[in-house]
Structure 1
């Protein structure tokens, strides 16, 4: 079922209000490796990357954080 133009507009507006977007570049082939790790963990690629960044930030700040 095709997505309506109104739905696309609403989704775009919601994402702009709720999310920051970051472009991540990695060497060719590494995306597939990260995707496989995310799949094995039962997470989306985005969720896996966000979790990894949060874990590193917590580790580097001495465990303090959200």
Structure 2
């Protein structure tokens, strides 16, 4: 526990705590808004479509490579 020698130190620490409280509140609000935006239906559909397209390209590339390797061993 901290011991204070004067009221100025107490006031300074109270001001710092108040500012930290405001910063923490803004961080919570920002996190909430980011989460809300990331869970929006439009964003979810966009992410799902992107994943499907990316996986289709990977599958097509893998099939091509595996087909090429298979032809070499015939």
Q: Is the structural similarity TM-score above 0.5?
A: no
Higher Rg of the two aligned structures: 2
Report which structure shows greater RCO (CA 8 Å, sep ≥6): 1
More helix by share: 2
User: TM-score scaled to structure 2, two decimals?
Assistant: 0.28
